[in-house]
Structure 1
Amino acid sequence: MFVGAPRPVLPVARPPHRLAAADGAGPRTSTQDHSPPSMFAAVPHAGAGRTTRTDAPVHPDAVPAAPYRRLPGTLRSDTPLRDGNNMPISRSIEPRFRPRRAYVMAAAVTGALLTAAPAAADGTPTAPDGGGAANGKPTVVLVHGAFADSSSWNGVVERLQRDGFNVIAPANPLRGLASDSAYTASVLKSIKGPIVLVGHSYGGAVISSAAAGNPQVKSLVYISAFMPDKGETLGQLAAKLPGSELNSALKPTPFQSGDGTKGTDLYIQAAKFRDVFAADLPARMTKQMAATQRPISAAAFMDKASAAAWRTIPSWALVARHDKSIAPALERFEAKRAGSHTIEIDSSHVAMLSHPDVVTNMIRAAAGQKEPTLASTGSKTLALAVTGGIAGVSVIAGALTMMAARRRRRTAS
């Protein structure tokens, strides 16, 4: 059969072929050798208990053929084509189930649901600027008081904006109750839709007059504030009940306006600022606040209130038990007289700085939201996240089930 020096021919492994079962139960693997015994050898298939054929002459020096193993990306057909001797002559390629794709699909489904959750958390679209027009929420207007500026509301503004409220914190001129109220009233007229009007300290007196006759103002919120009745002055109101240490801490400073009018500005002495105004804030912070405080004209305490909007508009009031600028007893008296929804907390005069969460929750209540909005608490977001997680797990579980079924079919065959 060989001429001259024998030329070794390496065996080529071929897969086991299948024969149709006589009882119709499905294909079975044939271990029958259809070739002459002197020309072909059989090599056991590792781990499968089957016999794999090698269709090549075996030379004494040839290396035994490795067991047949299916390469990645290929699958045997359960019904291969056969020649006249019932030998397999070709194999069809059928789609291969790829578990990694299932994992990627599951992750994509879960990620898509989780990404969409925050956007749909409150069920309504949000205006690009956070305005209330798109989501039906009122605009919140925050009016600061004396010895401060609009930045005193920063912590509250951040929380309200996160909830989807449109927030405006205009600068209070602090030049006189009549002029400051008129200025604030003009700001309110520029706003479309319902308004929640909030005032701190002297800002409370300003909003009481500014909101009068404005049907857009749906609620008033007073934070450690003056709430004068019509015809009252702040000086008269402050003298009603003891407990304030503000007068002895004031520093009068003369000023002259551009038209030549002279007046007196009132500052809080830097050495007494923290104790009287913001005792529950860090000393380093109150030192900066004392240096940047905005004075109020002394005339503001002598102007009579032109209106008391709290008589016709629902109101909320926060009483600061440790307030030394406005007596806590006076704050309670005002809230009771106005019939306000009232809470008391252990705070200094600047509760919006030391307790921004409490102040924000009170504003939410005045806006008709007893609980924080879903966008901030994440209750719907959490529900959607759970739904997305379940969907992802379901996809993975289905993938694993399909893998197990295929393995059982191959083992059974």
Structure 2
Amino acid sequence: MSSNRSGIVTTPPPTSPDLVPGPGRMRNGRGASIVRRRSTWLAGVVLAALVALMAGAPAQAGPASSGALTPVAARPTIVLVHGAFAGPSSWDEVSAALRKDGYTSVAVPLPLSGTVDDIATVRATLDAVAGPKVVVGHSYGGFVISDAAAGRSDVSALVYTAAFVPAAGESIIGLGAGYAPAAFLAPGHLTFDSAGRATITSTNFRDDFAQDLSPRLASTLDRAQTPTDLSILFAPSADVAWPAIPSWYAVSGADRVIDPALQRYMAARAGATTVTFDDASHAGGFTHYSARFTKLVEQAAARR
């Protein structure tokens, strides 16, 4: 057994029984000499093979003088932030696709009790996740991530799907001025709990939020709604991240919550790399188009 400078231990193979000479083959020492030559030759072949493998392996070592190994750069963790009238399970299809492709993701459960609490929740998640991160937001989640990622060096990209991308000082209601209003704002489309928080009625949910989905899948999203404090519509954004962090945007072309024209405006203003899912509902980007949206997230994650 021997050890080379890289620390790899080389163990020569055991001598094969058919190379051990019998008594009649040891005359004049010729049999022993043959065994020694064969053993030396085999050991040389093994050592040469190990050297060749080491030479062809991907370069991971640092400078030759130090001999230290440097780890392969870690992939960023994907932090997924849902919007109003939704919950973290809305990301299930995207999370599964990311996991299949070797990414770790975290779906943040927003309390939807107001912008201050929601932004603080995402910031706490970013603080708790080590290493680089890509932050993804849907709908109101885009407003939240734009604030929560501001000033951070550990967020390498922002990805939006049918999401609000405010400038500093803008509110959701202000961004929507001059564009088609959200379908759920029609009379009778919202119901309120004892705390005054709203959900979209089951009767209207699919048409308002997810018209491109099957009734079964739309019903699943409906049941996962988190009651939402409508103060989020009027609160102004503070500092925002997108002027300093590269962004990507998936426009939902048949959205009934955020006017697609407003989505295109916000994406262009942010300088985002933009794709359009022509017949996607407000939920279509992370469900009906989840495979294509996952690739957009991975494109953002691959950028350094």
The TM-score by the shorter chain falls in which range?
Answer: 0.7 to 0.9
Q: Could you tell me whether the CA contact under 8 Å between 1:335 and 1:342 is conserved in 2?
A: yes
CA distance in 1, matches of 2:232, 2:286: 23
1:112 maps to none
Q: Could you tell me whether the CA contact under 8 Å between 2:139 and 2:164 is conserved in 1?
A: yes
Report whether the alignment pairs 1:214 with 2:148.
no
| RMSD after superposition | 2.1
Which of 238, 257, 260 is residue 328 of structure 1 equivalent to? 260
Which of 140, 143, 148 is residue 202 of structure 1 equivalent to? 140
1:185 maps to 123
- Cα deviation, residue 243, structure 1: 5.6
CA distance in 1, matches of 2:177, 2:282: 18
- Give matches, 1:152-163, under 5 Å: 152-163=90-101
SS at match of 1:137: coil
TM-score normalised to the size of structure 2? Answer: 0.72
- Cα deviation, residue 337, structure 1: 0.8
1:11 maps to none
Any gaps of 5 or more consecutive residues in structure 2? 1-57, 61-70
1:347-370 alpha-carbon deviations (Å, 9 max, x no partner): 111110111111101101101269
- Give matches, 1:127-276, under 5 Å: 136-242=74-180, 244-248=182-186, 250-256=189-195, 264-276=196-208
- Cα deviation, residue 318, structure 1: 0.7
1:365 maps to 299
CA distance in 1, matches of 2:175, 2:59: 46
2:216 maps to 284
- Give matches, 1:341-356, under 5 Å: 341-346=273-278, 347-350=280-283, 351-356=285-290
Q: Could you tell me whether the CA contact under 8 Å between 2:89 and 2:224 is conserved in 1?
A: no
TM-score normalised to the size of structure 1? Answer: 0.54
CA distance in 2, matches of 1:243, 1:234: 11
- Give matches, 1:102-141, under 5 Å: 136-141=74-79
Q: Could you tell me whether the CA contact under 8 Å between 1:246 and 1:326 is conserved in 2?
A: no
Which of 242, 247, 254 is residue 310 of structure 1 equivalent to? 242
CA distance in 2, matches of 1:339, 1:266: 33
- Cα deviation, residue 331, structure 1: 0.3
Q: Could you tell me whether the CA contact under 8 Å between 1:240 and 1:330 is conserved in 2?
A: no
Q: Could you tell me whether the CA contact under 8 Å between 1:178 and 1:303 is conserved in 2?
A: no
1:30-89 alpha-carbon deviations (Å, 9 max, x no partner): xxxxxxxxxxxxxxxxxxxxxxxxxxxxxxxxxxxxxxxxxxxxxxxxxxxxxxxxxxxx
- Cα deviation, residue 244, structure 1: 3.3
CA distance in 2, matches of 1:298, 1:276: 17
SS at match of 1:296: coil
Cα gap change, 1:254/1:293 in structure 2, threshold over 3 Å: closer, same or farther? closer
Q: Match for 1:348: what amino acid?
A: S
SS at match of 1:224: strand
Q: Match for 2:154: what amino acid?
A: Q
Q: Could you tell me whether the CA contact under 8 Å between 1:196 and 1:366 is conserved in 2?
A: yes
Q: Could you tell me whether the CA contact under 8 Å between 2:184 and 2:190 is conserved in 1?
A: no
- Cα deviation, residue 284, structure 1: 2.2
Q: Match for 1:362: what amino acid?
A: L
CA distance in 1, matches of 2:297, 2:272: 13
Any gaps of 5 or more consecutive residues in structure 1? 1-121, 125-132, 257-263, 371-413
Q: Could you tell me whether the CA contact under 8 Å between 1:243 and 1:328 is conserved in 2?
A: no
Computing the radius of gyration from Cα coordinates, the structure with the larger value is: 1
1:95-131 alpha-carbon deviations (Å, 9 max, x no partner): xxxxxxxxxxxxxxxxxxxxxxxxxxx999xxxxxxx
Q: Match for 1:156: what amino acid?
A: V
CA distance in 2, matches of 1:296, 1:123: 52
- Cα deviation, residue 147, structure 1: 1.3
CA distance in 2, matches of 1:337, 1:252: 34
Q: Could you tell me whether the CA contact under 8 Å between 2:205 and 2:222 is conserved in 1?
A: yes
1:303-346 alpha-carbon deviations (Å, 9 max, x no partner): 11112211111000010000001110110010011111011112
Q: Could you tell me whether the CA contact under 8 Å between 1:178 and 1:306 is conserved in 2?
A: no
SS at match of 1:196: strand
Q: Match for 1:251: what amino acid?
A: L
SS at match of 1:357: helix
CA distance in 1, matches of 2:213, 2:264: 23
- Cα deviation, residue 251, structure 1: 1.2
Q: How many residues align?
A: 234
CA distance in 1, matches of 2:85, 2:266: 22
- Cα deviation, residue 252, structure 1: 4.2
1:247-292 alpha-carbon deviations (Å, 9 max, x no partner): 1164141533xxxxxxx21211211111110111111222233233
